[in-house]
Amino acid sequence: MSLGAHLRELRKRLTIAAITIIVAMIVAFLVTDPIIHFISRPIIDLQDARGMKFVSLNFATVTSSFDLRMRIAFAIGLTLAAPVWLWQIWAFIMPGLTRKEVKYTIGFVGAAIPLFFAGCYTAMIVSPHVIEMLVGFTPEGGTNVMDARQYYDFIFKLMIVVGISFVTPVFMIGLNMAGIISGRAIFKGWRWAILVAIVFAAVATPPADVVSMFLLAGILTVLYFAAGGLALIFDRRKRKRMIAMGLDPDLPA
Protein backbone atom coordinates (compact mmCIF):
# COMPACT_ATOMS: atom_id res chain seq x y z
CA MET A 1 0.00 0.00 0.00
CA SER A 2 1.11 3.56 -0.70
CA LEU A 3 1.58 6.11 2.08
CA GLY A 4 -1.69 7.79 1.13
CA ALA A 5 -3.55 4.48 1.30
CA HIS A 6 -2.05 3.79 4.73
CA LEU A 7 -3.16 7.20 5.98
CA ARG A 8 -6.69 6.71 4.64
CA GLU A 9 -6.85 3.29 6.28
CA LEU A 10 -5.64 4.79 9.57
CA ARG A 11 -8.21 7.60 9.38
CA LYS A 12 -10.99 5.09 8.72
CA ARG A 13 -10.08 2.91 11.67
CA LEU A 14 -9.58 5.87 14.03
CA THR A 15 -13.01 7.20 13.02
CA ILE A 16 -14.69 3.86 13.74
CA ALA A 17 -12.89 3.62 17.10
CA ALA A 18 -13.81 7.20 18.07
CA ILE A 19 -17.51 6.77 17.18
CA THR A 20 -17.67 3.53 19.15
CA ILE A 21 -16.07 5.12 22.22
CA ILE A 22 -18.49 8.09 22.09
CA VAL A 23 -21.53 5.79 21.85
CA ALA A 24 -20.21 3.65 24.72
CA MET A 25 -19.62 6.80 26.82
CA ILE A 26 -23.23 7.91 26.27
CA VAL A 27 -24.47 4.48 27.39
CA ALA A 28 -22.12 4.52 30.40
CA PHE A 29 -23.29 8.02 31.40
CA LEU A 30 -26.85 6.69 31.72
CA VAL A 31 -25.78 4.05 34.27
CA THR A 32 -23.39 6.13 36.41
CA ASP A 33 -25.67 5.99 39.46
CA PRO A 34 -25.11 2.28 40.25
CA ILE A 35 -21.40 2.68 39.43
CA ILE A 36 -21.02 5.60 41.86
CA HIS A 37 -22.88 3.60 44.50
CA PHE A 38 -20.60 0.64 43.89
CA ILE A 39 -17.31 2.55 44.22
CA SER A 40 -18.73 4.43 47.24
CA ARG A 41 -19.37 1.18 49.10
CA PRO A 42 -16.23 1.54 51.28
CA ILE A 43 -17.40 5.01 52.39
CA ILE A 44 -20.86 3.67 53.20
CA ASP A 45 -19.37 0.82 55.22
CA LEU A 46 -17.22 3.23 57.23
CA GLN A 47 -20.21 5.45 57.86
CA ASP A 48 -22.17 2.49 59.20
CA ALA A 49 -19.25 1.28 61.32
CA ARG A 50 -18.04 4.57 62.82
CA GLY A 51 -20.88 7.01 62.38
CA MET A 52 -21.89 9.54 59.77
CA LYS A 53 -19.68 12.26 61.24
CA PHE A 54 -16.47 10.25 60.85
CA VAL A 55 -16.31 10.15 57.05
CA SER A 56 -18.32 11.60 54.16
CA LEU A 57 -18.01 11.95 50.40
CA ASN A 58 -18.44 15.54 49.25
CA PHE A 59 -18.84 17.49 46.02
CA ALA A 60 -16.92 20.74 46.49
CA THR A 61 -18.22 22.72 43.49
CA VAL A 62 -21.43 23.10 41.51
CA THR A 63 -20.05 21.09 38.59
CA SER A 64 -18.32 18.39 40.67
CA SER A 65 -21.10 15.83 40.37
CA PHE A 66 -21.34 16.27 36.59
CA ASP A 67 -17.55 16.16 36.28
CA LEU A 68 -17.46 12.91 38.24
CA ARG A 69 -20.11 11.35 36.02
CA MET A 70 -18.18 12.40 32.89
CA ARG A 71 -14.97 10.84 34.25
CA ILE A 72 -16.78 7.60 35.03
CA ALA A 73 -18.53 7.62 31.65
CA PHE A 74 -15.18 8.04 29.87
CA ALA A 75 -13.49 5.22 31.82
CA ILE A 76 -16.41 2.79 31.47
CA GLY A 77 -17.06 3.78 27.86
CA LEU A 78 -13.42 3.19 26.98
CA THR A 79 -13.66 -0.25 28.59
CA LEU A 80 -16.95 -1.17 26.90
CA ALA A 81 -15.62 -0.11 23.51
CA ALA A 82 -12.29 -1.90 24.04
CA PRO A 83 -13.11 -4.88 21.78
CA VAL A 84 -13.82 -2.52 18.86
CA TRP A 85 -10.92 -0.07 19.19
CA LEU A 86 -8.46 -2.84 20.04
CA TRP A 87 -9.57 -4.69 16.91
CA GLN A 88 -9.12 -1.53 14.81
CA ILE A 89 -5.55 -1.17 16.08
CA TRP A 90 -4.90 -4.86 15.54
CA ALA A 91 -6.37 -4.87 12.04
CA PHE A 92 -4.18 -1.90 11.08
CA ILE A 93 -0.87 -3.40 12.25
CA MET A 94 -1.59 -7.10 11.57
CA PRO A 95 -0.68 -7.02 7.83
CA GLY A 96 2.85 -6.00 8.79
CA LEU A 97 3.38 -8.85 11.24
CA THR A 98 4.74 -12.32 10.59
CA ARG A 99 2.66 -15.39 11.41
CA LYS A 100 4.81 -16.05 14.48
CA GLU A 101 4.38 -12.46 15.74
CA VAL A 102 0.63 -12.69 15.23
CA LYS A 103 0.51 -15.90 17.29
CA TYR A 104 2.56 -14.39 20.10
CA THR A 105 0.47 -11.21 20.15
CA ILE A 106 -2.81 -13.14 20.34
CA GLY A 107 -1.41 -15.26 23.18
CA PHE A 108 -0.18 -12.17 25.05
CA VAL A 109 -3.50 -10.31 24.75
CA GLY A 110 -5.50 -13.45 25.54
CA ALA A 111 -3.60 -13.89 28.81
CA ALA A 112 -3.23 -10.22 29.77
CA ILE A 113 -6.87 -9.11 29.47
CA PRO A 114 -8.46 -11.64 31.89
CA LEU A 115 -5.58 -11.20 34.35
CA PHE A 116 -5.98 -7.42 34.28
CA PHE A 117 -9.71 -7.59 34.99
CA ALA A 118 -9.08 -10.18 37.71
CA GLY A 119 -6.69 -7.69 39.29
CA CYS A 120 -9.26 -4.90 39.03
CA TYR A 121 -11.86 -7.10 40.71
CA THR A 122 -9.38 -7.96 43.47
CA ALA A 123 -8.69 -4.24 43.96
CA MET A 124 -12.39 -3.58 44.50
CA ILE A 125 -12.52 -6.39 47.07
CA VAL A 126 -9.58 -5.05 49.09
CA SER A 127 -10.30 -1.32 48.61
CA PRO A 128 -12.55 -1.04 51.72
CA HIS A 129 -9.70 -2.41 53.85
CA VAL A 130 -7.16 -0.04 52.27
CA ILE A 131 -9.41 2.98 52.86
CA GLU A 132 -10.22 1.89 56.42
CA MET A 133 -6.51 1.54 57.17
CA LEU A 134 -5.68 4.97 55.73
CA VAL A 135 -8.49 6.84 57.48
CA GLY A 136 -7.52 5.03 60.68
CA PHE A 137 -4.70 7.59 61.01
CA THR A 138 -7.29 10.31 61.58
CA PRO A 139 -6.79 11.85 65.06
CA GLU A 140 -9.52 11.29 67.62
CA GLY A 141 -12.33 13.76 67.10
CA GLY A 142 -11.34 14.43 63.49
CA THR A 143 -13.59 14.05 60.45
CA ASN A 144 -12.68 12.83 56.97
CA VAL A 145 -14.27 15.05 54.34
CA MET A 146 -13.34 13.33 51.06
CA ASP A 147 -13.51 15.12 47.74
CA ALA A 148 -15.54 12.95 45.34
CA ARG A 149 -13.19 13.50 42.38
CA GLN A 150 -10.05 12.65 44.36
CA TYR A 151 -11.77 9.62 45.87
CA TYR A 152 -12.76 8.40 42.41
CA ASP A 153 -9.20 8.88 41.15
CA PHE A 154 -7.84 6.93 44.12
CA ILE A 155 -10.19 3.97 43.53
CA PHE A 156 -9.49 3.76 39.81
CA LYS A 157 -5.74 4.21 40.25
CA LEU A 158 -5.80 1.38 42.80
CA MET A 159 -7.64 -0.80 40.29
CA ILE A 160 -5.11 0.01 37.57
CA VAL A 161 -2.11 -0.66 39.84
CA VAL A 162 -3.43 -4.02 41.05
CA GLY A 163 -4.56 -4.93 37.53
CA ILE A 164 -1.09 -4.23 36.16
CA SER A 165 0.49 -6.22 39.00
CA PHE A 166 -1.56 -9.23 37.88
CA VAL A 167 -0.38 -8.72 34.30
CA THR A 168 3.30 -8.35 35.28
CA PRO A 169 3.98 -12.12 34.89
CA VAL A 170 2.80 -11.89 31.27
CA PHE A 171 5.28 -9.05 30.65
CA MET A 172 7.99 -11.19 32.26
CA ILE A 173 7.23 -14.00 29.83
CA GLY A 174 7.29 -11.53 26.95
CA LEU A 175 10.74 -10.31 28.03
CA ASN A 176 11.87 -13.91 28.25
CA MET A 177 10.66 -14.70 24.74
CA ALA A 178 12.47 -11.60 23.50
CA GLY A 179 15.69 -12.93 25.04
CA ILE A 180 15.99 -10.09 27.58
CA ILE A 181 15.54 -12.13 30.75
CA SER A 182 15.96 -15.86 31.41
CA GLY A 183 13.86 -18.19 33.52
CA ARG A 184 16.75 -18.64 35.93
CA ALA A 185 17.01 -14.86 36.39
CA ILE A 186 13.31 -14.73 37.23
CA PHE A 187 13.66 -17.43 39.88
CA LYS A 188 16.72 -15.74 41.38
CA GLY A 189 14.45 -12.95 42.61
CA TRP A 190 11.89 -15.25 44.22
CA ARG A 191 12.67 -14.06 47.77
CA TRP A 192 12.01 -10.43 46.86
CA ALA A 193 8.90 -11.41 44.92
CA ILE A 194 7.41 -13.24 47.91
CA LEU A 195 8.33 -10.36 50.23
CA VAL A 196 6.65 -7.80 47.96
CA ALA A 197 3.55 -10.01 47.64
CA ILE A 198 3.25 -10.42 51.41
CA VAL A 199 3.78 -6.72 52.13
CA PHE A 200 1.22 -5.72 49.50
CA ALA A 201 -1.30 -8.25 50.82
CA ALA A 202 -0.71 -7.12 54.42
CA VAL A 203 -1.42 -3.51 53.47
CA ALA A 204 -4.44 -4.37 51.33
CA THR A 205 -6.22 -6.56 53.89
CA PRO A 206 -7.30 -5.89 57.48
CA PRO A 207 -4.83 -7.00 60.19
CA ALA A 208 -7.29 -9.48 61.68
CA ASP A 209 -8.09 -11.14 58.34
CA VAL A 210 -5.02 -13.37 58.02
CA VAL A 211 -6.78 -15.72 55.57
CA SER A 212 -7.42 -12.93 53.03
CA MET A 213 -3.85 -11.70 53.38
CA PHE A 214 -2.33 -15.09 52.62
CA LEU A 215 -4.86 -15.72 49.84
CA LEU A 216 -3.94 -12.51 48.01
CA ALA A 217 -0.21 -13.03 48.60
CA GLY A 218 -0.58 -16.61 47.40
CA ILE A 219 -2.25 -15.54 44.15
CA LEU A 220 0.54 -13.05 43.36
CA THR A 221 3.22 -15.61 44.28
CA VAL A 222 1.65 -18.34 42.14
CA LEU A 223 1.49 -15.97 39.16
CA TYR A 224 5.17 -15.13 39.65
CA PHE A 225 6.31 -18.74 39.80
CA ALA A 226 4.05 -19.68 36.89
CA ALA A 227 5.78 -17.02 34.80
CA GLY A 228 9.18 -18.35 35.88
CA GLY A 229 8.18 -21.93 35.06
CA LEU A 230 6.96 -21.00 31.59
CA ALA A 231 10.14 -19.00 31.01
CA LEU A 232 12.24 -22.07 31.87
CA ILE A 233 10.23 -24.16 29.41
CA PHE A 234 10.75 -21.57 26.67
CA ASP A 235 14.48 -21.41 27.49
CA ARG A 236 14.77 -25.19 27.21
CA ARG A 237 12.99 -25.22 23.83
CA LYS A 238 15.17 -22.39 22.55
CA ARG A 239 18.29 -24.23 23.69
CA LYS A 240 17.23 -27.42 21.87
CA ARG A 241 16.55 -25.49 18.66
CA MET A 242 19.97 -23.85 18.78
CA ILE A 243 21.70 -27.18 19.36
CA ALA A 244 19.77 -28.72 16.46
CA MET A 245 21.00 -25.84 14.26
CA GLY A 246 24.59 -26.49 15.32
CA LEU A 247 24.83 -23.29 17.38
CA ASP A 248 26.30 -22.90 20.87
CA PRO A 249 23.40 -21.93 23.19
CA ASP A 250 25.83 -20.64 25.82
CA LEU A 251 27.22 -17.92 23.56
CA PRO A 252 25.58 -14.46 23.83
CA ALA A 253 23.14 -13.66 21.03
Give residue-wise pLDDT tens across range 140-186: 766 677 788 888 888 887 777 778 778 888 778 777 776 777 888 88
Please count the other Cβ atoms lying within 10 Å of the Cβ belonging to residue 186.
24
CA distances in angstroms from 56 to 38, 121, 143, 147, 204, listed in the order given: 15, 24, 8, 9, 21
d(CA 54, CA 58): 13
Highest mean pLDDT among 38-52, 161-175, 239-253: 161-175
Determine the pLDDT at residue 202.
75
Highest mean pLDDT among 42-51, 90-99, 116-125: 116-125
The model's confidence at residue 54, banded by pLDDT at 50, 70 and 90, is: low
Give the DSSP letter string of 171-214.
Answer: HHHHHHHTTSS-HHHHHHTHHHHHHHHHHHHHHHS-TT-HHHHH
The model's confidence at residue 129, banded by pLDDT at 50, 70 and 90, is: confident
d(CA 21, CA 30): 14
d(CA 168, CA 183): 15
Q: Does the structure show a pLDDT above 60 at 207?
A: no
Determine the pLDDT at residue 212.
65
Q: What is the pTM of this model?
A: 0.66
Cα Rg, the chain, nearest whole Å: 23
Which run of H or E residues covers position 127?
Answer: helix 99-135
DSSP 94: G
d(CA 40, CA 26): 22
CA dihedral over 192, 198, 199, 200, signed as positive or negative: positive
**CB of 231 closer than 8 Å to CB of 182:** yes
d(CA 135, CA 154): 13
Range 45-54 average pLDDT: 64
Determine the pLDDT at residue 200.
74
